[in-house]
A and B are shown apart, each in its own frame.
Chain A
Amino acid sequence: MKRTGIVLLAVLALVVMVIAPVAAQDTFNVGMILVGPRNDGGWSQAHYEGGLYVAEKVEGVTFLEPQENINAGNPDVPFDVAIRTLVDQGANIIFTASDEFEEDTAIVATEYPDVTFINVSGDDAYLGTAPANLGNVMGTMEWGKMIAGCAAALQTSTGHIGYLGPLINFETRRLVNSAYLGARHCYEMRGMNPDELQFTVTWIGFWFNIPGVTLDPTEEANTLLNNGADVIISGIDTTEGITVVSQRAAAGESVWAVPYDFASACDLGPEVCLGVPYFHWGPVYAEIISAAQAGTYEQAWTLTNPDWSDLNNPDTSGIGFAKGPALTEENGAMLDAFIAEAAAYAAENPDGIYLWTGPLSYQDGTEIAAEGVNLPYIVAIEEGSSVWYQQQLLAGITGASES
């Protein structure tokens, strides 16, 4: 009965088949694969804005419509289809902006040798396992998380900080550990005993909430607060942490939030926001894209760093920390003092990260840096411990180290 309709549809399909697709080739086209939506208020939005920055600042560049929501929750557009679509659109360089895409990017890079691929947060290029047209970029967010942990520890009155974690891997453990080190340090700055600081991590199981797959970050944030935490540091891509805290504060509780990833994340709850560590992807993207446009990009594992002279300069600082309105003036001054300490350390130790100095040990007691030893930023796992490859949470943190 529906024969006619289906036949019509099929005929229409055939007609469309013969219309050859056209792709713009006169500009240098930038493609981007986002794991979440462009307006997630966090990780994906920061990348999207990075793309807009490049389109504005670099001549002759077109920022193609990014492929959003490329994750298990959106099975209609698998990763390789998204990539193929961007290539058909004439993409010359494609940023795959999630750890989630690391392995798959290596596979598609060999399929499209003429396109440059940049995977964000991966380390294939460092390890030398990547095809020639695949590079990596990441920010040294350890700095940002350390400042975030410091702000939380300065303001907490219950002495209990909650960390809303995504999934468990080297990157997320490293960022939790950085926040913890910053928190301990600043708790001590306040004249408190850092061993008494409680630091609890909850993992939701993915970078953001996928109903039916992850735990619900709204509920997890509430649980953290219910159990005595009064500051929530967010490590997930999205904004549930600050939303929940802002809601609880409106109900009369003294609670604070430190969101993540995106410079304007405090806007969702300025009255509870202690500050936000975030990425400015624009400058490093512009650098990579200009090089690729000129044909001079060489595969690299690129790190983007804070500009210590001006942390919040959108043109120079890859990592920023925007202080939030809820941070008291006194705590703000102490945070500035801490940032100055970190800057001084960075100036002296260009390859190290402040506070990552022994004695440091994991939850199970394994020592990763002896007294006074600076942990190197990255060293292949089999050759020793490094900040990059954190195998466990640090001793003192409550929460799972492995899933």
Chain B
Amino acid sequence: MADPLLNTLESIVTNATPLVIAAIGETITERAGIVNLALDGSIVLSAMTGFVAAYSLNTALTGGGMAVATATMLAIPVGVLVAMLVGALIALLIAVASIELNQDQVAIGFVLTLLGVDLAVFLGTNYARIPGPQALPIVFPVLSQIPVAGDIFFKQSGFTYLSYALIFGAWYYLFQTRRGLALRAVGERPEAAFARGVSVNRLRYLYAGLGGALVGLAGAAYSLNIKAGWTTPPNMQGDGWIALAIVIFGGWHPFRVVLGAYLFAGLRALASVIQRTPGIEINIMVLNAVPWVLMIVTLLLVSSGAIERALLLLPRGAQKWARNILRSDPPAALGTRFDPERGS
């Protein structure tokens, strides 16, 4: 632990982990045509429930005489599962409201995000600031020996390793499998998918639930690792909105989503480094605003066609390739309802 730069990069990867997980989850959900705007509330509520579940089980097990290390090993996965369940339930509620009750996904999501935070604060009051089980970093065999990269990427917690797996898994599933094709079809042209015999709404439920479970996992990554424990006010509040923006920045593509998450985490770290750099006197608040300004700028870039125009400057062969990577159109049927009876 000598080099400040390496340490900082390692911290960036750690801090980006929940953003990566939540944004990938949301990417999957949105690819299937459902927008889960309740990310912020989901993360906060699942963080709280995940911590409380892990804490309670841990206390019960150690109280029953089990060794602390064993108890933690059992308590953390249970906490994670509970958090994932909460995240999935919230996403499914949005899906039900949209599919069965024809309610606007954005409206339901917005209500749920506010409700999630209040519910977490209300129910979590008595669990604030108590030490509970935490997922510790695991030095990854072999890979951690790689110079530089080993220090940055492979001395992380299980959550971060899971996020690596998710990045590639999500990419593979979305773009290299038949099921992924169906998933995307449901979000792009549900009528066409339906005509081909895909049961559109069943898939939408499935991927809303799956994406929501990942959002819950992100919540657990906070309360069981990165911002261990539970606090009032919830110390991860606001990150859900950033994750939502990252999905757009990422053009609904796992690789670019990850890039966005690391970029945001990096900028935050930069703000914190600048503060203690003697000679630079910038108001802290200006630094705090940087990620949000960047959020607008990136959305502007991906929405205004600036990228499309820039692509034209590339040689023809590269254009198609680059367009595939930089594609930024949302799934065409995002946020709309599909009625199988009418086939539209």
Contacts from A to B (Cβ < 8 Å): 36-37, 39-41, 69, 73-74, 200, 202-203, 205, 209-212, 215-216, 218-220, 222-223, 225-228, 238-240, 243, 246-247, 250-251, 253, 267-269, 398-400, 403
Residues from chain B with Cβ under 8 Å of A238 in the complex: 129, 231
Q: Does any Cβ of A come within 8 Å of B62's Cβ?
A: no
Measured CB to CB, the closest approach of chain A to B27, in angstroms, equals 24
A287 to B231, CA, bound (A): 33
A73 in contact with B233 (CB, 8 Å): yes
Measured CB to CB, the closest approach of chain B to A48, in angstroms, equals 12
Q: Does any Cβ of A come within 8 Å of B11's Cβ?
A: yes
A403 in contact with B235 (CB, 8 Å): no
A44 to B131, CA, bound (A): 18
Measured CB to CB, the closest approach of chain B to A135, in angstroms, equals 30
User: Nearest chain-A residue to B241 (Cβ)?
Assistant: A212
A218 in contact with B129 (CB, 8 Å): no
Within 8 A of A (CB), among B1-53: 1, 4, 7-8, 10-11, 15
A267 in contact with B131 (CB, 8 Å): yes
Chain B interface residue count, Cβ-Cβ cutoff 8 angstroms? 42
Whether A227 contacts B235 in the complex (CB less than 8 A), given A40-B128, A203-B284, comes out as no
Residues from chain B with Cβ under 8 Å of A247 in the complex: 134, 136, 228
B235 in contact with A215 (CB, 8 Å): no
A212 in contact with B238 (CB, 8 Å): yes
B229 in contact with A223 (CB, 8 Å): no
Q: Does any Cβ of A come within 8 Å of B283's Cβ?
A: yes
Q: Add 9 more A-B contacts to A215-B272, A250-B134 (CB < 8 A).
A: A37-B128, A39-B126, A39-B128, A216-B268, A219-B268, A227-B276, A238-B129, A267-B131, A269-B131
Q: Which 4 A-B pairs have the closest CB atoms?
A: A226-B7, A41-B129, A211-B237, A251-B137
A41 to B272, CA, bound (A): 25
Residues from chain A with Cβ under 8 Å of B285 in the complex: 205
Measured CB to CB, the closest approach of chain A to B75, in angstroms, equals 15
Q: Does any Cβ of A come within 8 Å of B70's Cβ?
A: no
Residues from chain B with Cβ under 8 Å of A222 in the complex: 11
Mark contacts of B224-254 with chain A using CB atoms, 8 A cut-off: 1 yes-contact digit, 0 otherwise: 0011110111111110000000000000000
A251 to B225, CA, bound (A): 12
Residue from the list B128, B137, B233 in contact with A210, Cβ < 8 A: B233
Residues from chain B with Cβ under 8 Å of A212 in the complex: 237-238
B126 in contact with A209 (CB, 8 Å): no
A223 in contact with B11 (CB, 8 Å): yes
Whether A37 contacts B125 in the complex (CB less than 8 A), given A215-B288, A228-B4, comes out as yes
B278 in contact with A226 (CB, 8 Å): no
Main secondary structure of the interface of B (DSSP, over half): loop
Mark contacts of B305-335 with chain A using CB atoms, 8 A cut-off: 1 yes-contact digit, 0 otherwise: 0000000000000000000000000000000
Residues from chain B with Cβ under 8 Å of A209 in the complex: 231, 233, 235
A222 to B134, CA, bound (A): 16
Measured CB to CB, the closest approach of chain B to A164, in angstroms, equals 12
Subset of 9 A-B contacts with CB under 8 Å: A37-B129, A40-B232, A211-B233, A212-B238, A215-B288, A228-B4, A250-B134, A253-B1, A400-B281
A69 to B8, CA, bound (A): 33
Q: Does any Cβ of A come within 8 Å of B344's Cβ?
A: no
Within 8 A of A (CB), among B245-296: 268-269, 271-273, 275-276, 278, 281, 283-285, 288
Query: Which residue, A200, A210, A216, has most C-beta atoms of chain B within 10 A?
Result: A216
Measured CB to CB, the closest approach of chain A to B280, in angstroms, equals 10
Measured CB to CB, the closest approach of chain B to A69, in angstroms, equals 7
B237 in contact with A399 (CB, 8 Å): no
Residue from the list B1, B234, B273, B284 in contact with A223, Cβ < 8 A: B273
Residue from the list A227, A240, A268 in contact with B4, Cβ < 8 A: A227
User: Nearest chain-A residue to B277 (Cβ)?
Assistant: A398
A219 to B284, CA, bound (A): 14
B284 in contact with A403 (CB, 8 Å): yes
Residues from chain A with Cβ under 8 Å of B184 in the complex: none
Whether A211 contacts B235 in the complex (CB less than 8 A), given A39-B126, A223-B11, A398-B276, comes out as yes
A219 to B227, CA, bound (A): 9
A211 in contact with B129 (CB, 8 Å): no
User: Nearest chain-A residue to B5 (Cβ)?
Assistant: A226
Query: Which residue, A69, A200, A215, A220, has most C-beta atoms of chain B within 10 A?
Result: A215
Residues from chain A with Cβ under 8 Å of B1 in the complex: 253
Query: Which residue, A69, A215, A219, has most C-beta atoms of chain B within 10 A?
Result: A219
Within 8 A of A (CB), among B172-231: 226-229, 231
Q: Does any Cβ of A come within 8 Å of B337's Cβ?
A: no
Measured CB to CB, the closest approach of chain A to B217, in angstroms, equals 19
Residues from chain A with Cβ under 8 Å of B269 in the complex: 219, 223
B15 in contact with A219 (CB, 8 Å): yes
Residue from the list B130, B136, B234, B278 in contact with A251, Cβ < 8 A: B136
A222 to B272, CA, bound (A): 10
Measured CB to CB, the closest approach of chain A to B221, in angstroms, equals 13
Residues from chain A with Cβ under 8 Å of B275 in the complex: 202-203, 215, 400
Residues from chain B with Cβ under 8 Å of A220 in the complex: 272
Residues from chain B with Cβ under 8 Å of A267 in the complex: 131
Measured CB to CB, the closest approach of chain B to A261, in angstroms, equals 12
A223 in contact with B128 (CB, 8 Å): no
Residue from the list A251, A268, A403 in contact with B155, Cβ < 8 A: A251
Measured CB to CB, the closest approach of chain B to A17, in angstroms, equals 26
A268 to B134, CA, bound (A): 12
User: Nearest chain-A residue to B225 (Cβ)?
Assistant: A247
Residues from chain A with Cβ under 8 Å of B238 in the complex: 211-212
A37 to B11, CA, bound (A): 29
Residue from the list B234, B272, B273, B278 in contact with A211, Cβ < 8 A: B234
Residues from chain B with Cβ under 8 Å of A40 in the complex: 128-129, 232
User: Nearest chain-B residue to A402 (Cβ)?
Assistant: B281
User: Nearest chain-B residue to A73 (Cβ)?
Assistant: B233
Query: Which residue, B136, B231, B273, B275, has most C-beta atoms of chain A within 10 A?
Result: B231
A218 to B4, CA, bound (A): 17
B235 in contact with A216 (CB, 8 Å): yes
User: Nearest chain-B residue to A69 (Cβ)?
Assistant: B232
Measured CB to CB, the closest approach of chain B to A206, in angstroms, equals 11
Within 8 A of A (CB), among B124-168: 125-126, 128-131, 134, 136-137, 155
B129 in contact with A399 (CB, 8 Å): no
A210 to B234, CA, bound (A): 8
Residues from chain B with Cβ under 8 Å of A211 in the complex: 233-238
A350 to B175, CA, bound (A): 76
A403 to B275, CA, bound (A): 11
A367 to B285, CA, bound (A): 31
